[in-house]
Amino acid sequence: MIVSLEVYVFPRNSVATRWLVAQFDALQDAFVRIHLVDDLDVASHHPHGLLLERANPEARDPDDPDVHVYVGAHWNRNHEALTKAHVRQALATLRADLSAFTIEGTSDADQEG
């Protein structure tokens, strides 16, 4: 069975949320420039970008941020790790405060259990 993997960027505070919304286009551009891959297993799907998602206010926990970034990492754990690193690099390129964001992949939960 092939399972899709995802990477999420969650702002940890309201300042980070505002930054993420204001800088999203620049973050998208930086990520696409960085995220060129040679892995033939996923290369035909590149370069792909980021999505800025707004949480449904009726369905989200009030303690969760109301926006986050989503990026598909295909079905490959190595590519998921590379995607997380590239998102972190794109944030750093824009001089974001990395401590203000949580970057996690869907397989992170598998490793916790």
Alpha-helical (H) ranges within the chain are 14-22, 24-34, 77-93, 106-112
| Per-residue pLDDT tens over the stretch 11-35 | 999 999 999 999 999 999 899 888 8
- Distance between CA atoms of residues 46 and 59, nearest Å: 32
| Per-residue pLDDT tens over the stretch 52-96 | 988 766 665 666 678 899 998 877 788 889 899 999 999 999 999
- Distance between CA atoms of residues 32 and 110, nearest Å: 27
Q: Where are the domains of the chain?
A: 15-56+76-88
pTM of the model: 0.81
